[in-house]
Amino acid sequence: MFDIIHIIHLYAAFIYGGFLIVDNLFMSKMGESLSAEEATKAREAIMMHVRKIVPWALLTAVGTGIYMFIGVFGQIGADGMSSFQILLSIKAFFGLWLGFRGFNQKFFGINPWVFKSHLFPFILVLIIIFLSQAMFISF
Ligand code: HEM
């Protein structure tokens, strides 16, 4: 069961992170070769499909993440948290923040909480992916 949830987590992270990468690196440049009106139209032609899938991918990443967190965090030892527990907690905090923003946006129409542009989630996803690997190295 854990392995299946883990794989679903990875796919969801790929879909969510993949959109942010395409948006920040490529879609944001559409205005360079299209007029403002064309760029808005082109962006909307993509975003109408993005809105059907990407928020669900984020919520799936958060849901499966919480499931795995409960399974792998373990007991805090007498000499404090392990490096795995520290980095996983930071990663979970950032992931939950993104999830909270996404949930508010999807279900309550509240536009991104605290930070408005997609640059902020993009940077958080890069940090989360780094932490997701770094947490397995003990220091
Ligand atoms: C947008 C949000 C998220 C992204 C992009 C993301 C991405 C990733 C990635 C790339 C991995 C590495 C898997 C591997 O190398 O085996 C991972 C693992 C993990 N994630 Fe997330 N994650 C997100 C949210 C969360 C949240 C909110 C939590 C917890 C509350 C969480 C908990 C975990 C756990 C516990 C693992 C490690 C499982 C193990 O021990 O193998 N994730 N995540």
Q: Are 108 and 57 in contact (CB under 8 A)?
A: no
Residue having the nearest C-alpha atom to atom 12 of ligand 1: 132
pLDDT in tens, 49-93: 999 999 999 999 999 999 999 999 999 999 999 999 999 999 999
Q: Is the pLDDT of residue 138 over 90?
A: no
* Mean pLDDT over the full length of the chain: 93
99 C-alpha to ligand 1 centroid (Å)? 13
Counting from 1 in the atom list of ligand 1, the atom nearest the Cα of 125 is 5
CB 15 near ligand 1, within 6 Å: no
- Determine the pLDDT at residue 56: 97
Q: What is the pTM of this model?
A: 0.90
CB 135 near ligand 1, within 6 Å: no
Cα–Cα nearest to 101, from 71, 122, 73: 122
Counting from 1 in the atom list of ligand 1, the atom nearest the Cα of 71 is 35
- Determine the pLDDT at residue 114: 62
CB 72 near ligand 1, within 6 Å: yes
Distance between CA atoms of residues 102 and 20, nearest Å = 13
Q: Are 92 and 30 in contact (CB under 8 A)?
A: no
Distance between CA atoms of residues 62 and 1, nearest Å = 17
- Determine the pLDDT at residue 113: 61
Question: Computed from CA positions of residues 107, 52, 112, 38, in that sequence, does the dihedral angle turn out positive or negative?
Answer: negative
- Determine the pLDDT at residue 115: 65
At which residue do the structure tokens 């992916």 appear?
129
Distance between CA atoms of residues 101 and 107, nearest Å = 10
